[in-house]
Amino acid sequence: MKPRLLFKRACAVTGLLALVGIGLYAAVNRNDRPPSLVVHRLEAAMHALGSAAPADNGYIHMLALDVPPDRDVVAVGAGRAAWLAQWTAKDAREDSSFPDGLQAVSMEPAASYHALHQACRQLNRVCQDALAMDMSKTTAWLASQQWLHARYGTMLGTTAWREVPLAGEQIPLPRFSPGFEGQRLHLLHAWLQAREGNAEQVKTLLERDLVFWRMMQLSAANLLTKMMGTAGIQQHFQAASMIMHALPASQRSRAIPRSWGVAFSPEERSMTLAMAGEYTLVKGGYAEIAQKAQAGPWWRVLPFKVGAFQMQDSLNRYAGHTVAIADTLAVDFPQMQAASERARMLVPATRDQGFATYLYNPLGKMLIEVAVETASFVNYGLRVADLEAMRRAALLAAHLRATNVARADMPASMQASALRNPYSGQPFVWDAEKERLMVGGLAQPDPRREAIEY
Q: pLDDT by residue (tens digit) across 289-347?
A: 777 666 665 555 454 455 567 889 889 999 999 999 999 999 999 999 999 999 999 87
pLDDT reported for residue 287: 83
Model pLDDT for residues 433-451, shown as the tens digit of each residue:
999 999 999 998 776 678 9
Mean pLDDT along residues 363-377: 81
Give the predicted TM-score (pTM) of the model: 0.90
Model pLDDT for residues 172-181, shown as the tens digit of each residue:
889 999 999 9
Mean pLDDT along residues 248-263: 96
Model pLDDT for residues 90-128, shown as the tens digit of each residue:
777 777 789 998 999 999 889 999 999 999 999 999 999
Residue 247 pLDDT > 80, yes or no? yes
Model pLDDT for residues 19-38, shown as the tens digit of each residue:
555 555 666 677 888 999 99
Model pLDDT for residues 420-432, shown as the tens digit of each residue:
999 999 999 999 9
Residue 4 pLDDT > 60, yes or no? no
pLDDT reported for residue 365: 81
More confident residue, 309 or 18: 309
Q: What residues contact 380, with CB distance under 8 A and at least 6 apart?
A: 223, 226, 227, 271, 274
Instruction: Estimate to the nearest angstrom the gap between the alpha carbon of 236 and the chain centroid.
Output: 16
Residue 41 pLDDT > 70, yes or no? yes
Residue 135 pLDDT > 70, yes or no? yes
More confident residue, 393 or 307: 393
pLDDT reported for residue 360: 81
Q: How far apart are CA 422 and CA 327, in angstroms?
A: 19
pLDDT reported for residue 73: 98
Q: How far apart are CA 79 and CA 89, in angstroms?
A: 19
Q: How far apart are CA 224 and CA 94, in angstroms?
A: 20
Residue 134 pLDDT > 60, yes or no? yes
Residue 160 backbone phi and psi in degrees, to 5: -140, 155
pLDDT grade, residue 6 (50/70/90)? very low
Residue 354 pLDDT > 60, yes or no? no
Choose among 294, 288, 292, 271: nearest CA to 224: 271
Residue-level length of the chain: 454
Model pLDDT for residues 181-221, shown as the tens digit of each residue:
999 999 999 999 999 999 999 999 999 999 999 999 999 99
pLDDT reported for residue 357: 63
Residue 3 pLDDT > 80, yes or no? no
The structural domains of the chain, with segments of one domain joined by +, span 21-35+273-378, 54-267+388-419
pLDDT grade, residue 17 (50/70/90)? very low
More confident residue, 299 or 67: 67
CB 283 within 8 A of CB 322: no
CB 417 within 8 A of CB 409: no
Q: What residues contact 246, with CB distance under 8 A and at least 6 apart?
A: 128, 191, 194, 195
Q: What residues contact 144, with CB distance under 8 A and at least 6 apart?
A: 109, 110, 113
Mean pLDDT along residues 249-258: 95
Mean pLDDT of the chain: 88
More confident residue, 398 or 96: 398
Kindly report each contact of residues 28-32 with a partner whose C-beta sits within 8 Å and lies 24 or more positions away, as own/partner.
28/307, 28/356, 28/357, 28/359, 28/360, 29/304, 29/306, 29/307, 29/308, 29/310, 29/359, 29/360, 29/361, 30/306, 30/307, 32/310, 32/311, 32/312, 32/313
Residue 353 pLDDT > 70, yes or no? no
pLDDT reported for residue 171: 87
Strand partners, 451: 438
pLDDT reported for residue 90: 78
Q: In the chain, how many H helices and how many E strands?
A: 19, 3
